[in-house]
Amino acid sequence: MSYFMTDLSGTSVEEPDEATMRTILDGLADADDEHPDVSLTHENGWSLSAFPSGELLWLLWENLDDPDAPPRQLSGVSKDEVLRLFGLLATGETAEIERLASS
């Protein structure tokens, strides 16, 4: 397994396709304080979590395997852009996400 996605209820889906990613992301409409986010995690340790923030989304970019890598945030991200970033992370292409999170 090279990546997995976690839905709002905490269930993991191994290597979801784009349609499944969109369905999981759409689940954020039902987010609450106990279940606030969905995420995609690559085997390299990088994870991108999405939280609802009005019409747009708020993202948390972090490496779960590297405690020295500081987590970063991206705000005001559209659902289509989140899906694009999830797709990049799924293939291990982290440079674009890193660039966005660092700006």
Predicted local distance difference test score (pLDDT) of residue 31: 94
What type of residue is 78?
Answer: S
Assigned token pair, 75? 């705000």
Query: Confidence band (pLDDT; 50, 70, 90) for 20?
Result: very high
Tell me how far apart the alpha carbons of residues 68 and 63 are, in angstroms, rounded to a whole number: 9
Within 8 A by CB and 6+ apart from 14, the residues are: 1, 4
Residue-wise pLDDT tens digits, 79-103: 999 999 999 999 999 999 999 998 7
Q: Average pLDDT of 10-37?
A: 95
Q: Average pLDDT of 17-29?
A: 96
The pTM (predicted TM-score) of the whole model is: 0.93
Residue 56: beta bridge partners?
Answer: 53
Q: What is the largest CA-CA distance in the chain?
A: 34
3-class SS of residue 84? helix
CA end-to-end span of the chain: 31
Residue 30: beta bridge partners?
Answer: none
Residue-wise pLDDT tens digits, 31-69: 999 999 999 999 999 999 999 998 899 999 999 999 899
Assigned token pair, 42? 């690559």
Residue-wise pLDDT tens digits, 69-85: 999 999 999 999 999 99
Query: Confidence band (pLDDT; 50, 70, 90) for 1?
Result: low
Which phi and psi (to 5°) does residue 82 adopt? Answer: -60, -45
